[in-house]
Structure 1
Amino acid sequence: MADRSHDAAPGGGLGLPSPHERPYSAILDSRGTSEDSSRHLDLSVLQWPASDDFDYPKAFAEVDLDALARDVDAVLTTSQDWWPADFGHYGPLIVRMVWHCAGTYRIGDGRGGPSASLQRFAPVDSWPDNRNLDKARRLLWPVKKKYGRRISWADLMVFAGNRALESMGLRTFGYAGGRDEVYQADRVDWGPEQAWMADERHTGVHDLNGPLAADQLGLIYVNPEGPNTVPDPLMSARDIRDTFRRMGFNDEETVALIGGGHTFGKTHGVADPERYLGPEPAVADLEQQGFGWQGGHGTGQAGDTVTSGLDGTWTQTPTTWDNSYFRNLFQYEWDVALSPAGLWQWVPRGGAGAGTVPDAHDPAVRHAPTFLTTDLAFRVDPDYEPIARRFMEHPEQLAEAFARAWFKLTHIDMGPRERYLGPLVPQEHLVWQDPVPPPVRTEFSTSLTLDEITQLKHQILRSGRTIADLVSTAWASASTYRNSDRRGGSNGGRVRLEPQRSWEANDPETLHPVLQTLEELRPPNISMADLVVLGGCAAVEAAARKAGHEIDVPFTPGRIDASQAWTDPQWFAALEPLADGFRNYRSRRAQHLSERLLIDRASQLTLSAPEMTVLLGGLRALGIGRDGLGVLTATPGVLTNDFFVNLLDMRYHWTPATEKSSSEATFEGRDRSTGEVCWRAGRADLVFGSNPELRALSELYAADDAEPNFARDFVAAWDKVMNLGRWAQNRSER
C-alpha cells in the first residue's frame, strides 16, 4: 500500500537500536515454528476458549449502518491535533490500514485476513510495513467505544475502509458484517527469519517457500524499492505476481488493487526512519499506551511524519477516486531517484510534472508525482502493461475491477456467503465464496426419517465396502475444513468433484469405488454430501459394535451438493493437504516435522488436545494410516483403544526404520524378547508417547477401564469434524 519499509543501514537519531538490531523473536515469537524437541510442543494453539451467550449476529443486526456511516465519516474529515490528517482527510490512512490488515491473508493455509484482526496484536502490529497504522486504529476508537460489542473491530475496520473509499468518490461493491470479535493473536507461521526485513524464505531463483505470501518478514506484499531494494521494475513484477497469486488474486485484480489503492494518499520519508523513529508498539515504553514509532524528526507529525522512508504522492488528486494513477504512469517517462531518506523511488524525467501535486499540509507548496518500483512494474511487464493501459483508457472498468477486488480482499477470509450479515451484502454469488446451491426441494435431506436413515446404514454396510474405506471417505470430505478462512468441510460434497477427488491424500484408487457405490445406493431425497458422512457414521457404529459398544453416532442431514461449475479447481487446489497426520499421510512437498503439521491441522479443525488425541487413536484402530503406518492393532476396523495400549506397552521398544531426524521418519516397534517387528509408526504416532502432555492423554485412554469413555469421546470428536463448516445450518458454529 502507501508506506513500505526497506533494508537500510541502522542509525541512532533517538539513541535507540534499529529494527535490524532487535531480533524478531525478542518482540514476539508467535509463529510456533521452532524445530526443537517434540517434548516441547506448544499445544496452546489447540485450546478453544468457551464462548458466552452473546449473540453477535443478533447484536450486529441492531446496528443502524446509516448512523454508523455518519459516525465514521465524521472521523474521516475531522483532523486531530495529535495526528493531523494528510490533505485534511483520513481516508487514505484508513484505506491503508484496512488494506494492510486484509492483505495478510494467504490461500496456502488460509491464515491472516481482516477477520483475524492480526494488525491489532503483536507481531503484526509492529511490522515495519505497518508503521503508524496504530494511529489509524486509534482514530476509530471513539466509534468502537460507542457501539461496543454490537460491531467487532474487524467489522468496523472493513466498514471504515468502505466509507473512506465512498467518501473519496468510489462506489464500492458491497459490505458484509459477521467477523467475530478477536481478543488475541492467531498463531501464524510468518517465516523462518529472526529479524525484520530479513529474507530466508526463498530458494532457487527467488522462489517463495511454503504457504508464505509476503516477500520479506515485516512486509505485507513486496519490497516497494524492488527485490531486496534493487530498483528493477521487471524483477519487481515477478515478485508481485507470485505474492498476489498466493493471496488469491489474478493479474487484473492485482493491477486494480495496487493502482486503485495508490490513487490515494502519499508515502512519508522526509527523514530516515532508522534514525528518527522510536521502537515499534510491541516494545515501546509503557507510557506510550500501545503507540509505537515515536517520531524524532521535527514535530514528528504532519509535514515531519516519517513512516517508510519513501516520500511522495502518486496523483494530483490524492483524496479523490479517479484513474489519474494510470494516466501518470503512462504520461511521464520515469527515472530512478533517492528519497530524502535515501530510498529508491521514481520521478518524472526532466522535471516533468513539477507543481502538479499538492502538499499534504501546506497549500502554498506543490510537488511532482512520485512513483515506486512496484508501480513501474505495471508499465514494463508484458502481461500487466495492457491491463494498466486499459484502465487508463476505460476508467469505468477500473472502478468496477477495483470495487470487486477490494470486496474480495476484505471478505475473502469469511468463508461461505451464509456467514455474511447485513443489508449491504451483494446479491451476486462469487466463485471464491465456495457457493453451494439451495436444495431443489425444501424437504430435501431433512425429510429423511429415522427408519430411512437406519435402512441406508444397513445398505451401506452390506455394500462390500470396508469400515476403513467408508471412514476414510467421510474423513476426506470433512477434514478439508480450515477454521482460518472457514473454507472446506463436508457441506458441498466436493470430495466427488475435481480437484478433491484426485488428491493424492485421498487415495483416488480407493476413493472412487466408494463414491461410485454410494451414488448407486443414494435415494433421491439425500445429497451425496450427506451420504458420504452417513457412510462414515455407519462404519464407526459398526466398529464400535464389534468392540462391544452400542453407540449411536449422531447424523444431522441437510448438506447440499455443490456443482463442478461452481468449483474452480485452481481455487480449491489450495485446500489440498500436504500432510494429514490423522491419516499418516505426508507429501514430498510438506515442510516441518509431521507432529507439528498434525497440530496445525488439528487447530484448523478447532480440536482441543484431547479431541486430537482420541481422534487419531480411534482412526488408527479403524485402520486409517497410509500403508498401515501407525495402525497399532491386530484387529483393524474395531473401535478399540489398542493404539494407546500398544504404543505405551513396555514389551515393545521403538527403533528408527529410516533416518530419525527426517521429517518423514518411520519407526519399528520390536518385541523386546524376540526382536520381532510388531508395529510400524511415524512421528505423528510416536509423539503421543514422547510429549508429556500428549502421553498423559494417551495414558488416560490406554487404561483398562478406558474403552467406554474412549469410544464415547471418539464419537463426539468425529461428529464435531463431520459438521464443521455447515454455516447455513448453524452460523454460530466456530
Structure 2
Amino acid sequence: MKDSVETPGTCPFRGTRIGGAQGSKPTLQDWYPARLRTELLHLHSAEANPQDPDFNYAEAFAKLDLDAIKADIRALMTDSQDNFWPADYGHYGPQMIRMAWHAAGTYRIADGRGGAATAMQRFAPVSSWADNGNTDKSRRLLWPIKQKYGAALSWADLMILTGNVALESMGFETVGFGGGREDAWVADDATYWGPETEIQGRDRWEGDPSGEHYDLENPVGASEMMLIYVNPEGPGGSADPMESAREIRETFARMAMNDEETVALIAGGHAFGKSHGGSDPDGVGPAPEAAPIHAQSLGWMNSSGKGFAEHTMTNGIEGSWVSNPIKWDHEYLHSLMKYDWELIVNETTGAQQWKPKDPDAIKTPDAHREGVEHPLMMMTSDIALKQDPAYRKIVEKFIDQPETFDKAFAEAWYKLTHRDMGPINRLIGKEVPSEPRMFQDPIPDCDHPVIDDGDIASLKSKILETGLGIDALVGAAWASASTFRHSDNRGGANGARVRLAPQKDWEVNNPESLYKVLSALEGIQSEFNDSASGGKRVSLADLIVLAGCAAVEKAAREGGIDIAVPFTPGRMDASDEETDAESFEWLRPVADGFRNYQLNKFSRVTPEQMLLDRAELLTLSAPELTALVGGLRVLGANWDGGSDGVLTDRPGTLSNDFFVNLTDFSLEWLPVDADEQRFEARKRGGDAAVVWTGTRADLIFGHNAQLRQVTEFYAGSDANEKFVRDFVAAWNKVMMLDRFDVKH
C-alpha cells in the first residue's frame, strides 16, 4: 500500500530487499516503483493449485475421522525426535502452541489480512520473519501426519488443530475447533506488512514517542517489522514495561483483542514452554527463504554447540515462566505478582530479561538436562502486565477467579485461531461450538420459505414503482455488499447491516439517499410479509440486493439490452444485538474508487492503489474490476452524486460509454489541482470547454498498461453487449460473496 516512489535521479536498487539476496535481479517494481501492481488481482489463480478443479476441500475434510487425526497428533507430542529437533521437557506441546499462535497472530482487523486461514506461515515473508524462528521445525515434525491425510487435511487446519491438541494434551480444556481452512499455493504479495526494509524496524510509528499522539500506521498490526505482536524486550529493546504495555494494548487491539483477552492470551500462552537464548546468535544461519538449497526449506540452522536442545536460539531470551512448563496451571499469574523482578542481561545473547529478586523463589527445570534448574524468567512484555494499572486489575481478577481465567483463555484462544474464518457456518467438524460468537458476526438462520420467481418479479416491479433513481438503488445495494473482504470473510449484504450503526451513517454510503431507499424497501417488505401465503417472507437484506438487480436490469433495457440479473434469495436480517458496532467500524472504507470516494488525501497511498486493494479484497480479476467501475460510473453511482468519471451523456443507461470516452484520442486530460487528484478533459487544440471530469480512480483505466488493454477491449464498437454481460456477472459475484449459507 505504501507508495515507494524514489526521489528523481536516485537509484532505486539500494541494499537488499527483505527475504532477498544481495545483487538480486531488479524486478519490474524496482524499475518502475510507481506502477500499479494489477498482477496482485491474479495471485490466487487456479494455475498455481495442483488439485483437480472439482476438488471440494470442505467435503473431503468432513469425511475425515477427527478423533483419529487428534490421536496421531497427541502421539506426536511425546515422540521426541532427538536427532532432528528434541522436544523441550520431552513434550512438543509448547512449541506447537507457538506455531499455531504465530500462524493466527498475523491477523489484523483493519483489513482482515493475515491470520491462519490459508497457512501463509509456509511462505515468505512470514515464513522467514525473525519472530517465526524455528517454526519451520514444527511443521517438519508434522509432515508425516500431513502426508498421511493428504489433500483432505490442509496445512492451515492441521496447524491450528495441532495447537488445540497441544493444549488439551497438557491439561487445558479448549472451546472447540472448526475446520475448513483451504491452503494457499502461492505467497501473499498483496499484504502490506510495513514500510521498513530492516529486521525489527520501527518506521511504522508516527508522531512523538513521548506524547499521546504516537500512532501505529494503518493497517499494520505488529509493533516492529518481522514480529507478530511486540518486542518482548520492550519497544526497540528499551526494557520499559510501561512503554511495552502501551504497544501491547495497541497491537492486540489491532488484532481484535480487548484488554481482558490480551491478558488471558499472554498469561495462558506463557503457562507453557520456554524462550530460547541458549547459544551465540552469530552461529545461527539464514532464515528459510535465504537458506542454501541443500537445507530443503529449513532455516536458522545453528552451528553453536548441538545446534538445538539446550543450545536452541530464537529471540535470545532464555528460560521459562513456570516450574512445570508442560502442564496447565495458574502459576504464571501468581509468580508474576508474588515476586519482585529485576532486569538482567543474558550473558550469551545480550538479551534483556527479568528474574526474581528472591533467591528462594521457585525454580524451573532445564528443558534437556536432568538435575539442572534455573531461576524463573519474565520478559519486559510480561512485567508490563503487572505495572500497567488496567492490566494489573485483570491479572488480580484472574488470580481471585481462576475459573474466569480458564474461560477467558479458552474463548480468547478460540477467537485467535478462528476469527479470520468468518461466519460459523463456514466451520466444519463435530467440535464446532453450537453457538456463534460475536466476532463471527452472527446472522439468524433462515427459518421460513423464501420468495420464488413470481414473487421476485412482483417485488422488482414494486421497487421500480417507488420512483427511486437507478443511482440510488444501485448505490444502496453496492453499499450493502461491497463491505465484504475475503481476507477474513467479514462484511457483505447478508444481515443487512447497512441499515444499522455504524454503516448507515458512513459518509461513503450517502446516508440521506440510503435512508430514502431503506424506508421505501421497508414499506414493500411489510406489505409483502403481511400478505404472503405459505409462510413466505422476504428480508430487507434480500430486498436491498434485489433493488440493485432491478435497477441494473432497467439500466440495461435503457441501452437496448434485455438481460436478467441473477438473484438468490435467503439472506436474513441481523439485529443491533448481533452487531458489534465498534468492530464493524473497521470496515468503513477510507477510500472506495468504485464510488469515487476518498476520505482524505494520502501522502503514501494513492487512490488507485486503494482501489486495487479493495478490488483484491473483493476477489475481483482485472476485467471484473474494470467492468464494475465502468458500469457503476455510467449508472451514476458516485457516493456524492457527482459527475467525476461519469463519462456519458445518458447517465442511468448501462453502456460502454465510460470506456469509449476515456479512450477518445481527441481529448486530453489535465490536472486541476497541484497534487493531481482531479482532472479535466478538453478537446485537443480546439474548444477549451471542459467535456468530462475525472479522478485518479478513473484515469488509471487509461494509464495502467493492463487495465488499458481491458478498457480498450470494452471500448470496441462490438463490445457493448459483452460489457453488459460482464458487468452483470461481476455484479452478481459481489452480491454473492458472503453467501456461505449456500456455498463453501
In structure 2, the residue matched to 1:402 is 409
Describe the SS at the equivalent of 2:344.
strand
In structure 1, the residue matched to 2:595 is 583
Residue in structure 2 matching 1:552, options 540, 550, 564: 564
Seen in structure 2, the aligned counterparts of structure 1 residues 367 and 331 have a Cα distance that, compared at 3 Å, is same
Offset at residue 543 of structure 1 (A):
0.5
Offset at residue 62 of structure 1 (A):
1.6
CA distance in 2, matches of 1:505, 1:25: 38
CA distance in 1, matches of 2:233, 2:66: 40
Alignment of 1:528-677 (within 5 A): 528-588=540-600, 592-626=605-639, 627-660=642-675, 665-672=677-684, 673-677=686-690
Alignment of 1:133-172 (within 5 A): 133-172=135-174
CA distance in 2, matches of 1:624, 1:592: 24
The code of the aligned residue for 1:271 comes to S
In structure 2, the residue matched to 1:424 is 431
Describe the SS at the equivalent of 1:114.
coil
Residue in structure 2 matching 1:466, options 444, 469, 484: 469
The code of the aligned residue for 2:39 comes to L
CA distance in 2, matches of 1:174, 1:276: 41
Residue in structure 2 matching 1:687, options 700, 703, 707: 700
The code of the aligned residue for 1:370 comes to M
Offset at residue 387 of structure 1 (A):
0.5
Offset at residue 574 of structure 1 (A):
1.2
CA distance in 1, matches of 2:37, 2:732: 26
Offset at residue 654 of structure 1 (A):
0.5
**Does 2:312 correspond to 1:305?**
yes
CA distance in 2, matches of 1:31, 1:484: 26
Offset at residue 366 of structure 1 (A):
0.5
Alignment of 1:102-117 (within 5 A): 102-117=104-119
In structure 2, the residue matched to 1:66 is 67
Describe the SS at the equivalent of 1:367.
strand
Structure 1: unaligned runs, 5 residues or longer: 1-19
Offset at residue 36 of structure 1 (A):
5.0
- The alignment's TM-score, normalised by the length of structure 2, stands at 0.92
Q: How many residues align?
A: 703
Offset at residue 352 of structure 1 (A):
4.1
The code of the aligned residue for 1:550 comes to D
Task: Spell out, residue by residue over 1:124-160, the C-alpha distance to the aligned partner (whole angstroms, 9 max, x if none).
Answer: 0000001011000101000000000111101111110
Describe the SS at the equivalent of 1:299.
coil
The code of the aligned residue for 1:496 comes to R
CA distance in 2, matches of 1:580, 1:640: 22
The code of the aligned residue for 2:543 comes to L
Given that residues 41 and 619 in structure 2 are in contact (C-alpha distance below 8 angstroms), is that contact kept between their aligned partners in structure 1?
no
**Does 2:232 correspond to 1:224?**
yes
Task: Spell out, residue by residue over 1:358-402, the C-alpha distance to the aligned partner (whole angstroms, 9 max, x if none).
Answer: 100011101110100000011011100011112123222211111
CA distance in 2, matches of 1:397, 1:85: 31
**Does 2:446 correspond to 1:452?**
no
Offset at residue 677 of structure 1 (A):
1.0
Task: Spell out, residue by residue over 1:184-227, the C-alpha distance to the aligned partner (whole angstroms, 9 max, x if none).
Answer: 22231001111111111011133101111100110000011101
Describe the SS at the equivalent of 2:117.
helix
Given that residues 669 and 679 in structure 1 are in contact (C-alpha distance below 8 angstroms), is that contact kept between their aligned partners in structure 2?
yes
In structure 2, the residue matched to 1:4 is none
Given that residues 594 and 632 in structure 2 are in contact (C-alpha distance below 8 angstroms), is that contact kept between their aligned partners in structure 1?
yes
Describe the SS at the equivalent of 1:24.
coil
The code of the aligned residue for 2:583 comes to W
**Does 2:229 correspond to 1:238?**
no
The code of the aligned residue for 2:727 comes to F
The code of the aligned residue for 2:598 comes to R
CA distance in 2, matches of 1:160, 1:230: 34
Describe the SS at the equivalent of 1:667.
strand
The code of the aligned residue for 1:46 comes to H
Task: Spell out, residue by residue over 1:549-602, the C-alpha distance to the aligned partner (whole angstroms, 9 max, x if none).
Answer: 011111111111111110010011111111111101111276511111111111
Seen in structure 2, the aligned counterparts of structure 1 residues 168 and 347 have a Cα distance that, compared at 3 Å, is same
In structure 2, the residue matched to 1:705 is 718
In structure 2, the residue matched to 1:17 is none
Given that residues 24 and 195 in structure 1 are in contact (C-alpha distance below 8 angstroms), is that contact kept between their aligned partners in structure 2?
yes
Given that residues 385 and 395 in structure 2 are in contact (C-alpha distance below 8 angstroms), is that contact kept between their aligned partners in structure 1?
yes
CA distance in 2, matches of 1:621, 1:584: 12
Describe the SS at the equivalent of 2:476.
helix
Offset at residue 458 of structure 1 (A):
1.5
Q: Note the aligned Cα RMSD (angstroms).
A: 1.9
Seen in structure 2, the aligned counterparts of structure 1 residues 586 and 352 have a Cα distance that, compared at 3 Å, is farther
In structure 1, the residue matched to 2:532 is none
CA distance in 2, matches of 1:304, 1:47: 40
The code of the aligned residue for 1:570 comes to E
Offset at residue 37 of structure 1 (A):
5.7
The code of the aligned residue for 1:43 comes to E
The code of the aligned residue for 1:638 comes to T
In structure 2, the residue matched to 1:497 is 500
CA distance in 2, matches of 1:571, 1:40: 30
Residue in structure 2 matching 1:380, options 353, 378, 387: 387
**Does 2:432 correspond to 1:442?**
no
Describe the SS at the equivalent of 1:383.
helix
Offset at residue 30 of structure 1 (A):
14
Describe the SS at the equivalent of 1:680.
strand
In structure 2, the residue matched to 1:24 is 18
Given that residues 25 and 194 in structure 1 are in contact (C-alpha distance below 8 angstroms), is that contact kept between their aligned partners in structure 2?
no
Alignment of 1:475-514 (within 5 A): 475-514=478-517
CA distance in 2, matches of 1:218, 1:361: 29
In structure 2, the residue matched to 1:49 is 45
CA distance in 2, matches of 1:451, 1:365: 79
In structure 1, the residue matched to 2:257 is 249
**Does 2:427 correspond to 1:412?**
no
Given that residues 39 and 690 in structure 1 are in contact (C-alpha distance below 8 angstroms), is that contact kept between their aligned partners in structure 2?
no
Further displaced range: 692-701 or 387-396: 387-396
CA distance in 2, matches of 1:48, 1:360: 42
CA distance in 1, matches of 2:385, 2:646: 54
CA distance in 1, matches of 2:465, 2:586: 36
Describe the SS at the equivalent of 2:691.
strand
Task: Spell out, residue by residue over 1:289-321, the C-alpha distance to the aligned partner (whole angstroms, 9 max, x if none).
Answer: 000011021111111111111111100010000
Given that residues 271 and 306 in structure 1 are in contact (C-alpha distance below 8 angstroms), is that contact kept between their aligned partners in structure 2?
yes
CA distance in 2, matches of 1:349, 1:398: 27
Task: Spell out, residue by residue over 1:38-94, the C-alpha distance to the aligned partner (whole angstroms, 9 max, x if none).
Answer: 545342333552471112122112211111111101111011021001100000000
CA distance in 1, matches of 2:422, 2:27: 23
CA distance in 2, matches of 1:492, 1:62: 30
CA distance in 2, matches of 1:532, 1:29: 51
Seen in structure 2, the aligned counterparts of structure 1 residues 56 and 224 have a Cα distance that, compared at 3 Å, is same
Could you tell me the percent identity over the aligned residues?
49
Seen in structure 2, the aligned counterparts of structure 1 residues 619 and 67 have a Cα distance that, compared at 3 Å, is same
The code of the aligned residue for 2:259 comes to D
Describe the SS at the equivalent of 2:546.
helix
